[in-house]
Structure 1
Amino acid sequence: MTDAVHTAALDEGWPSIDAAQPVEEGGPIARAGFNYQDEIAVGFLIEMLTNPALIKIHFETHDDIVLVWENGDQRTAEYVQVKAGEEEKFWSIPDICQRKKSKVGTSIFEKSLDRDRHKEEALFRLVTLRPVVAALKPLTYPRASPGRQSANAEITALLHDIEARCPSFKSPKGRDPAFWVANCLWDLRDSEKAVAKDNMVRLMRLAHQEGRSILFEPTEVLLLELRAKAKAAGGAKWLPDPSKKIITREELRAWWEERITETLDGVSTRSGGKLATKMTEAGLADEMIALAAALRRDYASEVRVPRYLDASDINQLQRRVRSEVATLRAKYLAGELNVDPVQFHSLCVSQMDALNAERDGAEEDRSAFLKGCLYDITDRCLLRFARPLP
């Protein structure tokens, strides 16, 4: 029997990962503090924007992340485990084979191989902050590289060690440790901060490659929205709507086209034009829009010809406003703020008053300046009060 025929026979009768309810749903229930995992997920979302072969991504379903690849008529599910909370040491074979209370199936290796239970052909990936010992080094090589051949002495030794520690363990589809070793990629990443910086560069490069270069600030906003998408999908429950846990390339590309076009239009549109549009979309009253436009104009005049603040003070206040707006927008997109667009606008304005109140000892009231900065950010397409369309 050829490999292709054998694979087709093996997959027959197994449910697709898109239809099968996850065996465990612990992730969506207790995922607080998963910032590193979310940043890794953003990296995969950027990969999906650039690579047509990556057609959808699951968040906290059958593994931390599941990448669905399509090559012709074949679909492959890559089960990704992200290890953020790690000890200050190199990963070793005993680490991935250690069972909890000696119970079969509880080790990292066994949990990974156990994902091989669906119609799609399985791949495996471990994403870690810490490097590996020499014995695990072959798993860091690309899957098709010469160092991954089954006859390689390092691979043979690695396989024998895993088999000795987890004897006779197989996936629900009957695959053994040799299958896992051949198809697992150990993906060594840096800190959350380093991954975030890399994501920033990759997103800016994508825009540049498409002939639509964007600057630092709008890229930050787009990354914020991608993080919110990953977090919202990870936090959703499979039932009653599994689609909330899956982001497809088609919908992500539609989001990208809409947002990048809006960002570039904001640069070319007359100052104040985008502000009015965004406030109208949010359902805000005409008088509120007029007040916002006036505050933005006063802010722009102050920035051009400072009267009360020097350049360093202005920069500091601008950074605070951007930071506060980013936090509020992230919570809003992730569903952590149960408010409508008008209420979200009010919350943003109130936060500017709170920032002004924090300026203990300051002689000049800067609430108008801070609100003008808020509306200037909105005018430059770095903030929207309405939720994005699904």
Structure 2
Amino acid sequence: MPPRSLIDSLNITTSGGVSGRRGYKYQDHIASGVFLDMLGDPEITQIECETADDIVVRKMSDAGDINEYIQVKTTENDYKWSISELKKRDKVKNRFKEGTSLIEKSLACDRFSGNAQFRFVSSRDVRAELMLFKVPREKRQAIKIKFDELVKKFTAVYASFVSAKNNNIECWARNMLWEVEHSEDSIMNKNVNRILSLASNEGAVTSHAHAQIVYARLLCAVGDAADAIAAADPDAKAITRAEALTWWSAQLGEMRTLRRSEIKVYQFNSRKFFDDLHEIDEPGILRKLSSYDVAFDFGEWRGDDLIDYLLNWLPEVVLPARVLANHFGHTEARALLKRARDERKKYAQIDDDRLLAELMLHAIMRHHLESEPIPCRLFALGNPSASPISAHLIRQSSGDELWLSRAYLTTATTYESIVSSVTQEMKISLTKDYLREERDLIIQLREPQHMRLTDLEAVLDKNSKLQDLLKVIRLPLLVAYDSTIIGAGYCSDYVAKLTNEVSLAYEALKPNFIPELASVQVNVFLIPIEDAQAIVAKLHTTLETM
């Protein structure tokens, strides 16, 4: 659930920022840049326009929640900012009024839960005495002594003035960042270029002209947030990271349509086949069920259609990305299927039962979760005695995840033995030696030039800590099983009966997850089928006669 906007209920207004900010395009350009920051930084959970400050950046980090209060300064003076200008108070009835200086107004924003940071963005530069505020926070350790001297200059400034959270102006100075953007045009050009770069990282190459169109839409989005009336709709003042990623995904979709020939191999709109059946989400115990229905058509279970659909995914499962790159649109390209079939025959450890289940899992991960697979992972065994798995990168609003997946086709006689053995395999997946081997295989198999950029680059580096890799791993398990309901044939209420069947199957499955898996997210996918042996035979025949 996104955090509530930082709006002071005692000072809320019904006019919002509308009348006071008409023409504040400079501020909208700055807010758009912060929006683009959020797309690439999973620690930023939300940005707000015209709430506690001109712009507020909400962050969640290991150190706790952070609110960064940004003031945008566009005064027309041509002299540089100085300490004396920052601490200048308004004069009221021949007395200087407390709380009216720019420093005090900025510090006064610190009245909400969370640690405070402060930022000024101005069109005017700063004098030498303030220059160190322009050094990014993460680079200040190298100038610590000099920066401490700058902070001391503020120690005696209005020493009695503190924020509602009892922080003083020295605290403000230590957490202050100053950025200088001289003109609207320079900010716009910088942001348009960032859009081009972000899109390129996602495999969606577009023209500069179209990037300007996307940027115009972004300006409208942040402008709408700023113009929203806080009293009427406080949530409209904020844009969450999940909302930003959804918006960005739509823009990427349009770019890919316009420039399909330049898309990276796993970025395309796939066709839906499975119907969503039933879902149970249990975040408290890190377990989730997702079930899917092959469905009936004119009273017949769609087994033949299932085989036809799954074979479209075979090239992705079997062939490297560099091969797919030469035949983009490969899920529609039958020319690749024979090559994929012949390549698959080299791997005896993947029998037809397992291949069928893995194809179902792959199709669901790719279409329903928009994953990117690690090419050929199913057929790359570091340890010959280990059970084959597939691997997918999944994008979440909280950060990318690595899903190490297993899929099985079961009959009534094999269900319990398979479930029991697979949970032991999943336990091994969390050991240090296994993680090292898995990371090395992913590094070897992954072809970044054909995939979108991921924020897992650091944890996938061979010199990274394996403990960090463990934090982003999820363990999906797909079980396709002989269904009593499907086996009984079509009836008008079969979906309700099937929902009850998968719910009971999930509850029966959960106790098999051993205690060692308690700290890792396990996603269970259940696919009810009509006849496991018959559908495997159909797959085998189809592969042989292609």
Q: Aligning the two structures, in what range does the TM-score lie when normalised by the shorter sequence?
A: 0.5 to 0.7
Q: 1:133: Cα distance to partner?
A: 1.1
> Aligned pair 1:235/2:227, yes or no?
yes
> Quick one: higher RCO (CA 8 Å, sep 6+), 1 or 2?
1
Cα distance in 2 for partners of 1:161, 1:125 equals 18
Letter in 2 for 1:238: A
> Aligned pair 1:155/2:152, yes or no?
no
Compare 188-197 and 138-147 and name the one that shifted more.
138-147
For residues 247-282 of structure 1, the C-alpha deviation after alignment (integer angstroms, 9 at most, x for no partner) is: 01101111111122123214459xxxxxxxxxxxxx
Name which one, 1 or 2, has greater alpha-carbon Rg.
2
Gaps of 5+ in 2: 262-546
Q: 1:237: Cα distance to partner?
A: 1.0
Q: 1:232: Cα distance to partner?
A: 0.8
> Aligned pair 1:120/2:114, yes or no?
yes
Structure 2 length-normalised TM: 0.44
Gaps of 5+ in 1: 1-14, 270-390
State the match for 1:10 in structure 2.
none
Letter in 2 for 1:56: Q
Cα distance in 1 for partners of 2:71, 2:210 equals 31
Cα distance in 1 for partners of 2:29, 2:240 equals 18
Q: Kindly indicate whether the alpha-carbon contact (under 8 Å) linking 1:140 and 1:187 is maintained by their aligned counterparts in 2.
A: yes
> Aligned pair 1:21/2:9, yes or no?
yes
State the match for 2:31 in structure 1.
41
Other structure's SS at 1:33 match: coil
For residues 46-88 of structure 1, the C-alpha deviation after alignment (integer angstroms, 9 at most, x for no partner) is: 1111211111100001000000111147211000000012410
Cα distance in 1 for partners of 2:57, 2:76 equals 23
> Aligned pair 1:177/2:165, yes or no?
no
Letter in 2 for 1:194: S
Cα distance in 2 for partners of 1:266, 1:146 equals 46
Distance 1:18 1:166, change over 3 A: closer
Q: Kindly indicate whether the alpha-carbon contact (under 8 Å) linking 2:73 and 2:122 is maintained by their aligned counterparts in 1.
A: yes
Cα distance in 2 for partners of 1:95, 1:171 equals 20
Letter in 1 for 2:9: Q
State the match for 2:82 in structure 1.
92
Q: How many residues align?
A: 252
State the match for 2:237 in structure 1.
245
- Which residues of 2 match residues 1-390 of structure 1 at below 5 A? 17-18=5-6, 20-21=8-9, 23=11, 27-72=17-62, 74-101=64-91, 102-144=96-138, 145-146=140-141, 149=144, 152=145, 155-156=148-149, 158-268=150-260
Cα distance in 1 for partners of 2:10, 2:180 equals 26
Q: 1:20: Cα distance to partner?
A: 4.2
Letter in 2 for 1:95: E
Higher strand fraction (1 or 2): 2
State the match for 2:539 in structure 1.
none
Q: 1:161: Cα distance to partner?
A: 4.0
Cα distance in 1 for partners of 2:62, 2:241 equals 16
Cα distance in 1 for partners of 2:254, 2:4 equals 37
Q: 1:243: Cα distance to partner?
A: 1.1
State the match for 1:361 in structure 2.
none
Structure 1 length-normalised TM: 0.60
The 4+ residue runs of structure 1 with deviation greater than 6 A are: none
Cα distance in 1 for partners of 2:6, 2:54 equals 15
Letter in 2 for 1:112: S
Question: Identity of counterpart residues, as a percentage?
Answer: 33
Q: 1:147: Cα distance to partner?
A: 5.8
RMSD: 2.3
Q: Kindly indicate whether the alpha-carbon contact (under 8 Å) linking 1:17 and 1:119 is maintained by their aligned counterparts in 2.
A: no
Other structure's SS at 2:48 match: strand
Q: 1:143: Cα distance to partner?
A: 2.4
Higher helix fraction (1 or 2): 1
Q: Kindly indicate whether the alpha-carbon contact (under 8 Å) linking 2:196 and 2:211 is maintained by their aligned counterparts in 1.
A: yes
Cα distance in 2 for partners of 1:58, 1:248 equals 9
Q: Kindly indicate whether the alpha-carbon contact (under 8 Å) linking 2:12 and 2:231 is maintained by their aligned counterparts in 1.
A: no
Cα distance in 2 for partners of 1:73, 1:132 equals 30
